[in-house]
Amino acid sequence: MTQPSEIEQPATTIKEWVAQIEASLVQITGVRVETTEAGLQVILETAKGETLAPETRKIGNALIADIPNAAIAQVFSQANPIEGIVLVSVTSLSNNQVQVTITGTDAPPVAEVTAEAQGLVLSVTVGDTGEVTEEDTIEIVVTGEPDEGYNPSSASTATRTDTPLRDIPASIQVVPQQVLEERNVRNLNEAVETVSGVIDNGSFYGAPTGSRIIRGFNQGFVGSGINFRNGAPDVDYYALTPIGTIEQVEVLRGPASVLFGAVEPGGIVNTITRQPLSEPYYNLAFEAGNYEFYQPSIDVSGPLTEDDTLLYRFIASYQSSGNIQPFVDEQQLTTIAPSITLNLGDRTKLNLYYEYINFFSDNIITGAVILSDGNLTPRDFYLGYPNLDLLHITTERFGYTFTHEISDNWRIRNNVAVVLSDFVDERGFPIGTVDDRFIQIEALDYDYTKDNYFANIDLLGEFNTGAITHRLLIGFDVNRFVENSTIFQVPNIPDLDLFEPDYDFSNSSLVPDSQFVNTTQSYGLYLQDQITLLDNLKLLIGGRYDWVTNENEIADFGEFGNTTDDPPQNDGTFSPRIGLVYQPSDTVSLYASYSRSFRPTTGFNPDGKAFEPTRGTQYEVGVKTDFLDNRLSAALAAYYLTRTNVTTEDPDDPRFSIQTGEQRSQGVELDIGGEILPGWNLTASYAYTDAEVTEDNVTPEGNRLPSVPEHQASLWTTYTIQEGTLGGLGFGLGLFYVSERQGDLENSYQIGDYLRTDAAVYYRRDRFNAAINIRNLFDTNYILTTFGARQADRGAPFTIVGTLSWTF
């Protein structure tokens, strides 16, 4: 007979209710990973041999098992337990669940789930999923990337293959989706603020575009190869990159021409976009903040057919905002991005996409002017004439990715990417000051079209030569970039009085300034081999040859009073790379590498000979390591990088330039990311950069390169309460430091250092998410970069945004 004391009494307080819930959870006391002849076993041990009932699902090349009503004493993570498996992790979720994630590399893993007296056993094999037919076997279909939190384990940018980061002899940093969402970044420059050696070089008058300095060198402003998207050349400084379609951002530092052609030597930023999913996904969100900011958005995905042969994704958002500066009352950003995936068979897949992004600003954000005493013009001072200012940018992207597995070891891949941008810019900008009071203004009316066409084909295969394993990549690409520009000047603009501004000025007359069509056509052939010499010794070797033609076509130039015509420029360049990785243990990788890059230089020597491309040459060594059972990773790199064939003034004739200049950057970079304790995530970085002029006919040797800080550091950390009534409540803190920089190449003035503080509070429960993000918590007044006549692009003031979202 059951005694009254043995009957569980109903809870009468919250504390008792929580205690009863915790008591009802199955406690997982340990996790073991054991190697078997067929693969491996993941064993979850329970305290009393209790039964676990996992619910499995497929995301990318990962098998995810969600175990309800369970808790784990300590999270578990093990990287590369066997060949073909990247990561095994067991983590605790905030809704009384334990999640097991088993991530494959190239071939999808297969798992058989069985319950035994000791707990739950997942028997995992690697290889052909068609070999397993048991009813309780799960096939993993590659449709995207698994969510690995703050510590992603692989990337594709450095090798064009999905390679574990520890196997890459290069400095590559991945900014994962969770970091992007928890920081609530608004543009690409904000997205890479947590990466060492990457500096915000300003955005285009409030538009969601921007330029970056990587390892001391400006990534560039105009042309193909300034930014990359899914490995293809994307928009330059003047077009649009929406943040809402991005899954993660990968930053490859150092020369990258071996796979990406004509790029600056500091590195590249490659955005990886969100892809259609095989499981239904629906997310609705609304954001609102100060300066009249608001943004509704939608992200929905799933199968359109029962057999998953047709998948879709649709992302759309509308953003409206004002600004601290007067007259900038209406800035609008619209994004529409549909995509579909056709699974044409077990080995063939076609992904089609389209993006439409439209930005409009009734007036433009004018930045600031640095006065002679080093102070800035007031933050709310408009440096122009509102009747002259307007900015309207439209960018469209469309293309496809086609992949076909010829066999188990060979695959062919074809990409086509088209980016079309229209750009209307009517603006005044300061060109100087008189007595620190009167701002001299020049106004121009720009009308641009920038069209970029890219296509490539890759052949990727794996084979052995004796005991040595090869992963071979052979590819060919073609890129055509066409820029059509018409520029008019607005004459007779009066100076603007800083103390008593009079904005009552308008002038509809325009004076033709210039008009041209610039076309750059390039072809590239590349070869790469990832060689596994031993289990702990890997060699990467590759080379690329590019043929580049640049042509300036003068269109209707006679009416502009100029009939100059430049002959075409033709360049052919070889770019090599070699790197070695040695792994003395499962958690440490040591590497060394040598790489080169190139970027065409338009123009001619005094003798009429076309300029040679600028060349980048880098030597790098580094170490990558894992801590805390592979939950936390760190990467330390040291490099020596030179940029040669820099144009400098001809000492015999200042009207011309010659290519005798050289610039050098050397430094150390440290990046740390991952989970310190359950719920406590962190990403941190530090960079020491010594970038200076080493040869020049005019600029003194030893001058520092402009806008490059000697020291840069960042920290973003979050903590989420894991259980109890406050489970799902989290807090975030960000610190971003940039030291003093030079304002120009002559080092005639300096830009002060700054420390910016960001913060966040959020709450996630089941499918509901609420967050408050604050950028520049203490309203620090700081400069991002400078250009022109002591003109500055300054950081945004205190900004607060609240978010509500639901996922179904």
Q: What is the pLDDT of residue 672?
A: 98
The two three-digit tokens of residue 39, written as one number: 């693969």
- Mean pLDDT calculated for residue range 578-591: 96
Cα 1 to Cα 487: distance, rounded to the nearest angstrom: 95
Which of the listed ranges 49-53, 66-70, 419-423 does the model predict with the highest average pLDDT? 419-423
Q: What is the pLDDT of residue 115?
A: 61
Q: What is the pLDDT of residue 420?
A: 96
Give Rg (Cα) of the chain.
28
Q: How far is CA 564 from CA 159, 569, 601, 677, 701, in A?
A: 43, 16, 19, 66, 35
For residue 546, report the phi and psi dihedrals to the nearest 5 degrees.
-120, 140
Structural domains present in the chain: 4-139 (2.60.40.3500), 157-273 (2.170.130.10), 281-807 (2.40.170.20)
For residue 4, report the phi and psi dihedrals to the nearest 5 degrees.
-55, -35
pLDDT in tens, 54-84: 777 766 677 788 787 787 877 787 878 888 8
Contact (Cβ atoms closer than 8 angstroms) between residue 118 and residue 43: yes
pLDDT in tens, 82-117: 888 888 888 877 566 788 888 887 656 777 776 655
pLDDT in tens, 20-34: 445 557 778 788 888
The two three-digit tokens of residue 332, written as one number: 């609008």
The two three-digit tokens of residue 357, written as one number: 């992004």
Question: Confidence band (pLDDT; 50, 70, 90) for 771?
Answer: very high
The two three-digit tokens of residue 498, written as one number: 């800083």
Q: Beta-strand (E) ranges in 364-510?
A: 368-369, 390-405, 410-434, 438-465, 468-490, 496-497
Contact (Cβ atoms closer than 8 angstroms) between residue 679 and residue 722: yes
- Mean pLDDT calculated for residue range 650-668: 86
Contact (Cβ atoms closer than 8 angstroms) between residue 166 and residue 624: yes
Cα 218 to Cα 263: distance, rounded to the nearest angstrom: 11
The two three-digit tokens of residue 285, written as one number: 């969100």
**Sole residue written with tokens 């033609």:** 549
Q: How far is CA 86 from CA 106, 141, 456, 609, 777, in A?
A: 10, 16, 28, 52, 39
pLDDT over threshold 60, residue 657: yes
Tell how strand 232-233 and strand 97-104 pair up. unpaired
Percent of the chain with pLDDT over 90: 56
Cα 109 to Cα 41: distance, rounded to the nearest angstrom: 12
Task: Give the residue from 176, 167, 156 showing the smallest Cα distance to 252.
Answer: 156
Q: What is the pLDDT of residue 302?
A: 95
- Mean pLDDT calculated for residue range 645-659: 81
Cα 203 to Cα 796: distance, rounded to the nearest angstrom: 11
- Mean pLDDT calculated for residue range 358-372: 87
Tell how strand 657-677 and strand 680-695 pair up. antiparallel
pLDDT in tens, 277-327: 998 999 999 999 999 999 999 999 999 998 889 999 999 999 999 988 888
Question: Confidence band (pLDDT; 50, 70, 90) for 141?
Answer: very low
pTM of the complete model: 0.82
pLDDT over threshold 80, residue 435: yes
pLDDT in tens, 716-768: 999 999 888 898 999 999 999 999 999 999 999 999 999 999 999 999 988 89
The two three-digit tokens of residue 766, written as one number: 């089941």
For residue 32, report the phi and psi dihedrals to the nearest 5 degrees.
-130, 140
Mean pLDDT, all residues of the chain: 87
pLDDT over threshold 50, residue 132: no
Question: Confidence band (pLDDT; 50, 70, 90) for 237?
Answer: confident
